[in-house]
Amino acid sequence: MMKLTKNMLLILLTLICSQVFSDILPIDNFVWTDQAKLDLYLNQRINPTDPPATPVRAVAEFEPAQAVLIRYPLGIPTSFVALLSQESPVICIVADSWDQNQAQSAFDAAGVNNDNLSYIVADTDSYWTRDFTSWFVVNGNNQMSVLDFEYNRPRPYDNLFPQAFAQEYDYPYYAMNIEQTGGNFMTDGYGIAAASHIAYTENGNNENLVNTTMEQYMGITNYMVIQDPNNTYIDHIDCWGKFLDVDKVLIREVPSSHAQYDEIEDVANYFATTNCSWGYPYQVIRVYTPNNQPYTNSLILNDRVFVPQTGSSWDDEALEVYENAMPGYRIFGVTNNTYYPWESTDALHCRTHEIPDREMLSIQHYPRFGNVDEELVSIEATILALSGQDIYADSTLVYYRVSGNQDWLSTNLQAGDNNLWTAEIGPFETNQVIQYYLHSADQAGKSEDYPFIGAADPFEFVYVAESNQLHPPLIEFDPVLSVQTNQLPLELTCTVTDPEDNISSVTLWYYVEDDSTSVLFNNIDEDTYSLDWNINDNEVNDSISYRIEAQDTDNLTSTTPLYSLNIIVSNDNHEVGQAYGFTSIYPNPFNDSLSIKFRSKSHNQSVKIYNLKGQLVKELSSSAKAGSNANVKWDGQDLNGKRVSSGVYYMVLESENLRDVRKVLLLK
């Protein structure tokens, strides 16, 4: 056995310390032990590119994956690599042929399936592939693409790896000029993403720059940046939360005696009162982590979910939480070895990265939910084969049944324009609970259900005949998005109607940072409600958002979207600046007519409306003078006067030094 000399021990200790502290210290305080790496870090950072062609869409972790990426030397047990390789291709990063030989010997001993094992040769600094590997987007040409960013750690080889990956596997490559990290990002695949506050602080607190960049490069139109509730050095969202589906979010839970109990509960409440992309509040699932167990730091890989195990008495309960939240998925517990144990800030998710299927059969659908009164219920989905191959029409179906029945009925979805497929199901009897899911297949051999797990966790709605249906209140409100301090208190007025004339309360809810306050409206004239909103002086410089909630005596409730209020401090000696761009787009979602208000620097300004393929659908012109308020309406018709299909559309307002883009959802 080779004897370690004193100098060798010192070198080994230096390398270990540099690796450990590089994950703790900011760049300014980092002590470089390798001048060559310092030069590389300073001189070979990523070069930003133009953004992808629009529309661009960020891909979620729970979408179809073709492989999983790891790095050798490992931070995961070889037995876990063997488990992954049973059904999924594994790509292992190695520095050279010597590392590859060492890795292969270890994998052979562990029983790794070599048919599902491949290598990519590239220099890296760490095994945290989640953090330094690129994100993935589908660009406007329907190509799966690599989306790079400046990695927020002083690890130059890790930072350059996405370029090597894109080149090795011939992906379109795009790079953003902002600092990010993979452990602090989750997306639903529909334009919502979430991260902790370092998404802003590590970019000079320039929220507008970050939000605009995320929208341009990733199609993220709702970036939920949240103060990290854990209060740890790393501030990664995967240490406390995880999207399990478009409408499901897993949040850690701690006992009330825990130092961060209030902060974690505030985050759980935030998601529980926030609408997901499908138009209703998130289902918040809790997993108990009394000793900061990293149960949210898991990996979703197609229909398998891998959850870190720590030897805690709560391990089994964590697995049960996943099983209940994700019916139809197979849940695996994974214990690491004592040399690289799972940490509360660093576990299984951090050390792996799924690679989306670049030829995926993508199904996007806004599900029917709640009470539906259509005699024949319309179902629509955007189905896109990234392989470019044709979709089998006879295999593109909606399966449905009355809840409790064993047998599924099916009907074909019919192809329309812009990859939109439609069908009608029914008729049903009133008060029946209907379950359904979608299926499609293409000539590239892809076969997918939606939701991803299909019949095990279908969509649901209740059919209620129009004559028997109780209607929630209807709120008509022209939102106020900015106000000067000399105009306070702010008078808010809305119209609230109810077919049964049973309005019990109309409430303003407003939120300042983590605090929420409710104020009741006064009924001043039949269906008209008003209040004077007294905004406190200490709230003027805070970020304020608000919504209106109406409830009737049948306990049916309606709410407006959540609006942001910009408070402009008045100054009698200076002209208060005008805000330009969209000031109101309402209602959103809409199914009849959309009212669009804006203020432009140009005369005779127009609003252009595009579909998800970037095609111009409609142009709405206004004769308003420059600097004045303009108001146009869209009736959901295209340039030819034809009613467009349900789905997402983009409102674009452009004039000198201004480009404002908003997303709206048309529902029929």
**Tens-place pLDDT, residues 74-92:** 999 999 999 999 999 999 9
pTM: 0.69
Task: Tell me if residue 558 falls in helix, strand or coil.
Answer: strand
Distance CA 154, CA 44 (A): 12
Most confident region among 24-33, 236-245, 497-506, 619-628 by mean pLDDT: 236-245
Strands 283-288 and 563-568: unpaired
Q: What are phi and psi of 415, to 5 degrees?
A: -75, 140
Element (H, E) at 323: helix 315-325
d(CA 667, CA 636): 10
Range 559-566 contact pairs with CB under 8 angstroms and sequence separation of 24 or more: 559/475, 560/475, 560/477, 560/479, 561/275, 561/587, 561/588, 562/274, 562/275, 563/479, 563/480, 563/481, 564/481, 565/480, 565/481, 565/482, 565/483, 565/510, 566/481, 566/482, 566/483
What number of residues does the chain have? Answer: 668
CB contact burial 32-47 (16+ within 10 A = b; e otherwise):
eeeeebeebbeeeebe
- Whole-number pLDDT of residue 421: 97
DSSP code of residue 601:
S
State residue 356 phi and psi, 5-degree precision.
-60, 150
SS3 556: coil
Structure tokens at 455: 């019949």
What does the alpha-carbon distance between residue 441 and residue 418 come to, in Å, rounded to a whole number? 18
3-state helix, strand, coil in the chain (%, to 5): 20, 40, 40
What one-letter code names the amino acid at 216?
A: Q
Q: Which two tokens stand for residue 472?
A: 């929630």
Beta bridge partners of 544: 512, 565
Amino acid at 359: E
- Report d(CA 210, CA 200) in Å as an integer: 7
Does the pLDDT of residue 177 top 90, yes or no? yes
Q: Exactly one of 92, 239, 350, 494 is catalytic; which is it?
A: 350
| 350 is a catalytic site residue | yes
What is the predicted pLDDT for the residue at 451? 95
**113-122, 338-347, 453-462, 624-633: the lowest-pLDDT one:** 624-633
Q: Would you say 145 and 136 are in contact if contact means Cβ atoms under 8 Å apart?
A: yes
Cα distance between residue 619 and residue 652, in whole Å: 10
The H-or-E segment that residue 270 falls in is: helix 261-272
Share above pLDDT 70 across residues of the chain, in percent, rounded to a whole number: 88
Could you read off the pLDDT of 469-506 as tens digits, one per residue?
Answer: 677 889 988 887 767 777 788 889 999 998 777 899 99
With cut-offs at 50, 70 and 90, classify the pLDDT of residue 624: confident
pLDDT at 569: 61
The rounded distance, in Å, linking the Cα atoms of 180 and 25 is 16
Q: Where are the alpha helices (DSSP H) in 502-552?
A: none
Average pLDDT over residues 244-261: 95
Cα 483 from Cα 462, distance rounded (Å): 42
Tens-place pLDDT, residues 575-596: 333 456 777 787 877 777 888 8
Q: What is the mean pLDDT of residues 26-49?
A: 60
Q: Is 196 exposed, middle or buried (0-12, 13-18, 19+ CB in 10 A)?
A: buried
DSSP 394: G
Do the Cβ atoms of 200 and 171 come closer than 8 Å? Answer: no
Q: Residue 612: pLDDT above 80?
A: no
Q: Which helix (H) or strand (E) holds 398?
A: strand 397-402
Q: At what angle do helices 78-85 and 97-110 cross, to 10 degrees?
A: 80
Contact between 260 and 229 (Cβ < 8 Å):
yes
567 close to 512: Cβ distance less than 8 angstroms: no
* Continuous segment of H or E residues that includes residue 510: strand 503-512
- Tokens in use for 46? 């990523």
What is the per-residue pLDDT for 84?
A: 97
Exposure of 314 in the CB half-sphere (CA atoms within 13 A):
16
Encode 66-90 in three state secondary structure.
EEEEEECCCCCCHHHHHHHHCCCCE
**Confidence class of residue 539 from pLDDT cuts 50, 70 and 90?**
low
User: What are residue 422's DSSP bridge partners?
Assistant: 380, 414
Whole-number pLDDT of residue 277? 94
pLDDT digits (tens, 9 = 90+) for 209-237: 999 999 999 999 999 999 999 999 899 99
Mean pLDDT of 87-102: 96
Any idea what DSSP says for residue 202? T
C-alpha distances (whole Å) from 186 to each of 48, 62, 203 are 22, 10, 18
Q: pLDDT tier at 659 (50, 70, 90 boundaries)?
A: low
pLDDT tens, position by position, 424-465 = 999 999 889 999 999 999 999 999 999 999 999 999 999 988
The whole-angstrom separation of Cα 299 and Cα 83 is 13
